Amino acid sequence: MSTETKGYIRWLGHAAFEIKVYNKTILIDPWITNPKSPVTLDELDKVDFILVTHDHGDHLGETVEIAKKYDSCVVGVYEVTMKLAEQGVKNVLPLNVGGSIKLTSEIEVSAVPALHSSGCGVPVGYVVKTPDIVIYHAGDTGLFLDMELIGRLFNIDLALLPIGGVFTMGPHEAALATLMLRPRYVIPMHYNTFPEIRQDPEQFKDLVERIAPHVKVLILSPGDRVPIPLRI
């Protein structure tokens, strides 16, 4: 990997992330009005692409509003993108589990399984691949054995994993997921937004250090940025 900084990934609270890479801005699960968000909708830069893991409100978020404002291309499973098109989103790019699409010549996105529910379609996670970094956003998911296959397929640099419990994996399951995925770094997400998903990320870090000591845990506060390529 190059040592030159070419972008960053920023946590916007809950499961929302902003990725800046190759002069493009990608939002994943843009619930920007979440209680932990460090920014308002008006403070977002121009958004080129939005990746939606599933259509629950805390992940679909303000997708429609943002996409209409910036003519963003929204990526999601077929049924979700058709639902968004009916709501006036003009630029949608459907795919499904196991599929990959090129967003630009440097940025490719793959949809992978997630063990959860969805109002329509199926929930997914995403692998975002560029020449400088491979990022896995798990979406909302429980632990499942095919995470080992995801790790083997994609050689992940950075995994973004939910640890909140109740609706997703908790810290223990997420630590086992880290072991199976074998990323270089992992960031916990989807916790402490509500009382029901209150967790201590240090517990997750301790568990990973015991069972997957080759993986570095990055505990972020909403608004924190991680450089691309990773140099931490």
Residue 11 lies in a domain: yes
Please compute the mean of the pLDDT values over residues 20-49 and round it to a whole number: 97
* pLDDT of 13 higher than 80: yes
Residue 2 lies in a domain: no
* 162 phi/psi in degrees, rounded to 5: -70, 145
Structural domain count, the chain: 1
Residue 22 is part of a domain; what is its CATH number? 3.60.15.10
At 2 the pLDDT is 45
At 4 the pLDDT is 73
How many whole angstroms separate alpha carbon 209 and alpha carbon 138? 20
* pLDDT of 72 higher than 80: yes
Shortest CA distance to 158 belongs to which of 133, 179, 177?
A: 133
The pLDDT tens digits for 75-127 are 999 999 999 999 999 999 999 999 999 999 999 999 999 999 999 999 999 99
Residue 1 lies in a domain: no
Residue 17 lies in a domain: yes
